[in-house]
Chain A
Amino acid sequence: MSRTVLEVQGVTKRFGGLVAVRDMRFDVTEHEVMGIIGPNGSGKSTMINMISGLFPPSEGSIRLKGAELAGLPAHKTARKGVGRTFQLVRLLPELSVVENVVAGAVFGHRRRWGKPAEAHARQLLERVGLGASIGLPISSLTYIDTKRVELARALAGDPEVLLLDEWLAGLNPTELATGIDLVRSLRDEGRTIILVEHVMDAIRSLCDRCVVMSSGAKIAEGTPAEVLSDAEVIRAYLGEDEDA
């Protein structure tokens, strides 16, 4: 039985005269990995930022298990069960690795505090493959390890839906394989994930379904194989003559 976790309906975002996202609509069902893909500047990150409450949509509705998220500030969407990572990794440099993850466990969707929170954080750090570097200061982590810490922090509140904003970007080929395996293992444990991604290998091997955006609007939706062979999608990615 699959049920809808997140419903996006008629969402539009204007920044002054610029329409960054126009009338987006899609559903995400439980235990599904949904990819949002599209060329640079197509509005993917804006879409993610509206779901996480970084800024409100100008119009439309975003529902998480029936509850309206549109217009709520980020701390409220987090408490309702939205967890996220950032396109440019954001860690808390003055805190330890464990504290960085505990931060995600204390105030969010499912709350823990004190020893249980710390045990939960350590367990998640093991889970994302950071067991060995757990005692290092944040400043001496490798790039993929900073991404792991951020992922563990996003998982720490047991979110209903996890938003990964280009989590695989910038990894070298070996790290990329590790990263894809890690996200796949999260899917296998039944998490619901929205993935904004440019890496085609990742999209093909991870996403159950994809929404393709171009110039702020949805131009295709379906399995990765379907959308990546769609004529309009190919034109959006490759068509130099469409917009210069």
Chain B
Amino acid sequence: MNAQEIGKVIPWALLLLAAAFVPVVFSPYWLSMATTMAMFVVLATSWALFSGPTHYISLATAAFFGVGTFVTGLGFQTLPFWMLPLIAAALGGILAALVGMVTLRLSGVYFVIFTLGLAELVRQLVTWVQNQTGQRGMYVLTSITERDIYWMLLGLAALVYLAGWLIGRSKLGFALRIIGNDETVARHVGIDTALAKVALFTIPGMAAAAVGAILAPRYIYIEPSTAFAPLLSFQVVIMALLGGTGRLWGPLAGVIPFTLLWEFITRQAPNQTLLLLGIVFLLIVYVLPGGFVGLWARIRRRFHQGGGA
């Protein structure tokens, strides 16, 4: 790492440190908001690591997330809590690799539909197993507090940023950018495109499953219809696109305003949330096609042109 890179890392480290003090400084209400934001930062950032460069829109977040919550639901009484996100991440990674091997040969819309169906498939499977065993939902009663959850998510977010930064500098990251531009060219310059895509697709899988495992105590009662709710997958896509996927900080810039907006919408118009979600999505596509990252790039370009001429 050279001096310039250290200079870039320092503000991020300070931001992380400041974020760590949120539970100490702010009220429980704002801690709850911050926890939601931390959750979506992990989900949207890890989502964008894969979907940003490859342009494959994955709606599988809910599937991985749900698997994570069930890992905690089934294991919290017998295993130490710190092991659960690790197990969930391993399962999420394996599930993502399997799904990736089957679906990443599909392109565009087929991949989108398959990933959406995946969450439903896993949900139905879990429901079926529960029906067979006569079980319904599960209570997750732990001594884990909102603060603990927040700090764990913050740590996970730091890991995701670290992974993103390392991938961005790696051959894998470069390969993914080439694949996103032209897959035929990628193959002809020697990239094993299937392997590269599967390798990267495991990252959002692992992250989302770990998030699910960490958040399960917050829900107290978990059942398939809430754990695998497809809305989560759409929220993650919208936040990541609102922020923009071209830069590592993009999803963060989408998560913060969107979480606040969502809070406002659900309180003011609880029956119109989906309608408003749709409108926001349309606005992003039409007004902010590159998200805040694209907007920022446009502003900078204009500024540089103005200054140069």
**How long is the Cα–Cα vector from A74 to B193 in the complex, in angstroms?**
10
Q: Are A95 and B178 in contact (CB under 8 A)?
A: yes
**Residues of B in contact, count (CB < 8 Å):** 18
**How long is the Cα–Cα vector from A79 to B191 in the complex, in angstroms?**
9
Q: Are A113 and B184 in contact (CB under 8 A)?
A: no
B171 on the A face (CB < 8 A): yes
- Find chain B residues with CB under 8 A from A79 CB: 190
Give the distance to chain B from A64, nearest Cβ to Cβ, in Å: 14
**How long is the Cα–Cα vector from A153 to B193 in the complex, in angstroms?**
18
**How long is the Cα–Cα vector from A90 to B185 in the complex, in angstroms?**
7
A-side binding surface: helix, strand, loop or mixed?
loop
A157 on the B face (CB < 8 A): yes
**How long is the Cα–Cα vector from A84 to B175 in the complex, in angstroms?**
18
Instruction: Name which residue of chain A comes closest to B53, CB basis.
Output: A94
- Find chain B residues with CB under 8 A from A90 CB: 182, 184-185
Q: Are B175 and A107 in contact (CB under 8 A)?
A: yes
Give the distance to chain A from B130, nearest Cβ to Cβ, in Å: 43
**Residues of A in contact, count (CB < 8 Å):** 26
B77 on the A face (CB < 8 A): no
Q: Are A75 and B192 in contact (CB under 8 A)?
A: yes
Closest 4 CB pairs of A and B: A107-B190, A92-B181, A78-B190, A108-B190
Could you pull out 25 A-B pairs where Cβ atoms are within 8 angstroms? A52-B188, A54-B184, A75-B187, A75-B189, A75-B190, A75-B192, A75-B193, A84-B188, A86-B184, A90-B185, A91-B185, A92-B177, A92-B182, A92-B185, A94-B180, A95-B177, A103-B178, A103-B185, A106-B174, A106-B175, A107-B175, A108-B189, A153-B185, A153-B189, A157-B189
Binding site for B on A (CB under 8 A): 52-54, 73-75, 78-79, 84, 86, 90-95, 102-104, 106-109, 113, 153, 157
